[in-house]
Structure 1
Amino acid sequence: MAKKTRRAAAADATAGENPRRPCPCGSGKRYKACHGAGDDVIVTRPFAGLAAECELVAMREFLPSATAPLPTRDGQQATVATVLPGASAALVRPNGEVLLGMQVQTRSGDLSADIARALRWTRDAEPGSALPVVPTTAGDPVRLQDVIEVDAPLDLTIHTDFSWWLAPEDAASPTAEVAATLERANAVIMPTEAVVADGVRAAFWVDTGSKAHIRWVRPEPEERLVAALARLQAAGGLDLGEGSRYVGSFRAHGLVVPVWDLDREQHAKEWAAPAAAFAKRLDEALADEAPLTDIERRARGALAGKQVTLR
């Protein structure tokens, strides 16, 4: 009965009363054929409470090649990565180095639990082995919040390619198969850099080939953030300065990610100062507790039409 109740609660919160609607997990399947078919509960904000929440969402959704040491509580050495060879959930190199993947082949309704289970698997795994899919254990309560320091930020490194897939001892002479895999992966990677400035966190510049963007993962609750963005929109302060245009936002794992189109002729570092200035304006708008004016409410409605949900 308890499991049935959890399923019903998840359905009410995420899929409404229509089991034929798309599953909130983002699989593309109908809810009744995906997480609505079993005992799995969908956690819409899996990294809530973690100081690294914004960076983890970025690694899962749009950063192509990035790694960071995982601040585990028990001192186990592990690195979390955007994607591993074969989209594996985890691997243990022959030298014992542990890597955990964010962009995986399949997942449950709780990404946080998936990563925690993958980390636990590595403790007994043989060196040189990989975990293609995270195993699920009924009633298993362990989540990432239980195994890492919740107040520790991620020391994120963004790479220009996937050469870090190779262990140092293999980098000089990879096999033909490995070299071909790396070549294919490197061919589709999009140039990406973090925007580094005072007051700016989890903002990432990317050149898609036809356009450049900044995608900025925000930690605030959606209603509060959208109200602040509406205030800026009404005041004409929603862009990042000349050569930029606010185009909308997407929701991912419980957070909102505003997106701006940018002038491709300007380097990522040239957007640091404009981003810092915007961060200051946004902080002021977030602190404003006055009711929205009529103009601001209309701006909020317009912004709502520019939002999409990824996860």
Structure 2
Amino acid sequence: MGKRSRNKGREAVATAEGEVGPRQPCPCGSGRRYKACHGATDGPPPVFNARPFGPYAGECDLIAMRELVPAATAPLTLSEASGHAGKVIRLNSLLPGAAPAMVRDTGEIWLGLQVQHNFGDPGRDLGAVLLKALESEAGIVGLTEAPGEGPRFTDLVVDEPLQVTVHDGFEFWVDDIEDQGPAMAAALEQANAAASPTVRLGSVDAAYWTRLGAKEHLRWVMPEPEDDLLAGLARLHVSGDDVIADGARLVGMFRAHGLLVPVWDLPVGTGAEILEEPAAAFARALADAVAAGPELSAEERAARSGLANRQVTIR
């Protein structure tokens, strides 16, 4: 009897195609089960935005800084909506202690992307942290609860591409401090040891070479809608034009904040410099392949299916 009752219960919660089961991970990326997050019935669900940093000219690089790049900075100019039009602050991939923001003694605002809180809409969270930092005099700034309604990050900054500087380590944390001391030096050494070598390609947007252990990869955040991008990549795969460098292989892709991030494995010793011209040529070929539309041949459809099966959602 007990076994039949359990089976009956499982049948009752079966989901239709495309639905999220109560015990499955919530698609918002919180790490919680759906029934304990956006599927909860005991109160209003947290806000979920499938593409929290769009539309924004710096969207792809921002996602890379948040999810892929260990040590990078970029200047941000605030918009009129922030109440501080023209003020320049610094966007950081990671701040000490994964702080959401810091107001330095000089009054400069540093905004962090790799943080520990997640209230369902990173774009709104980042906007709330920025507004809070603008009202603070000095110190660490963060959120302890969901910020509720209000302007998003993209409302508060000028809509322009990010000018990203990738650093070899985290010395930029202390570039405004003269007397750093041994404790700070030890903290920097520990942080630097965990940072993988990374280079942003200059010939295309949001493409980053990295070395993880003994392996090298190219990870490229792409702005095209998912279906269009998969169709374009499938065409290039069938034609043999999806090779970034000799011996390189497109092994799959991440899905992060509503965009796809194709990943190539590279032969050891490839480095970043040799990828510049091939990446630019690939970008041109991909644009043509995407523009060709959604209709695919049987071989291209099979390639598209294979690409779709090699996706992993990280946010």
Q: What is the TM-score of this pair, normalised by structure 2?
A: 0.88
Query: In the alignment, what sits opposite 2:110?
Result: 99
* CA distance in structure 2 between the aligned counterparts of 1:63 and 1:134, rounded to whole angstroms: 25
Query: In the alignment, what sits opposite 1:154?
Result: 162
Shift of 1:25: 2.9
Give the AA of the match of 1:156.
Answer: V
| Residues 1:50 and 1:134: Cα distance change in structure 2 (over 3 Å) | farther
Shift of 1:40: 1.4
Query: In the alignment, what sits opposite 1:5?
Result: none
* CA distance in structure 1 between the aligned counterparts of 2:111 and 2:24, rounded to whole angstroms: 32
User: Are the aligned partners of 2:94 and 2:115 in contact in 1 as well (CA < 8 Å)?
Assistant: yes
Counterpart mapping for 1:277-292 below 5 A: 277-289=281-293, 291-292=295-296
* CA distance in structure 2 between the aligned counterparts of 1:27 and 1:42, rounded to whole angstroms: 10
Counterpart mapping for 1:180-191 below 5 A: 180-191=186-197
Query: In the alignment, what sits opposite 1:145?
Result: 154
Same amino acid, percent of matched pairs: 45
Query: In the alignment, what sits opposite 2:137?
Result: 126
1:192 aligns with 2:203: no
1:86 aligns with 2:97: yes
Counterpart mapping for 1:65-76 below 5 A: 65-73=71-79, 74-76=85-87
Shift of 1:302: 1.2
Query: In the alignment, what sits opposite 1:6?
Result: none
| Residues 1:101 and 1:187: Cα distance change in structure 2 (over 3 Å) | same
Quote the RMSD (CA, aligned, Å). Answer: 1.7
Shift of 1:267: 2.2
Deviates most, 280-289 or 37-46: 37-46
Question: Match of 2:88, SS?
Answer: coil
1:136 aligns with 2:146: yes
Shift of 1:134: 5.6
* CA distance in structure 2 between the aligned counterparts of 1:270 and 1:50, rounded to whole angstroms: 30
Question: Match of 1:168, SS?
Answer: coil
Which structure has the larger Rg? 2
Query: In the alignment, what sits opposite 1:62?
Result: 68
Match for 1:116 among 113, 127, 130? 127
Give the AA of the match of 2:161.
Answer: P
Shift of 1:254: 0.2
Give the AA of the match of 2:277.
Answer: A
Counterpart mapping for 1:193-208 below 5 A: 193-197=199-203, 200-208=204-212
| Residues 1:93 and 1:290: Cα distance change in structure 2 (over 3 Å) | closer
User: Are the aligned partners of 1:89 and 1:134 in contact in 2 as well (CA < 8 Å)?
Assistant: no
Counterpart mapping for 1:1-311 below 5 A: 16-37=19-40, 38-73=44-79, 74-127=85-138, 129-133=139-143, 135-138=145-148, 140-150=149-159, 152-170=160-178, 173-197=179-203, 200-289=204-293, 291-311=295-315
Shift of 1:290: 6.4
Shift of 1:28: 2.3
Unaligned runs of 5+ in 2: 1-14, 80-84
Unaligned runs of 5+ in 1: 1-11
Query: In the alignment, what sits opposite 1:9?
Result: none
Give the AA of the match of 1:234.
Answer: V
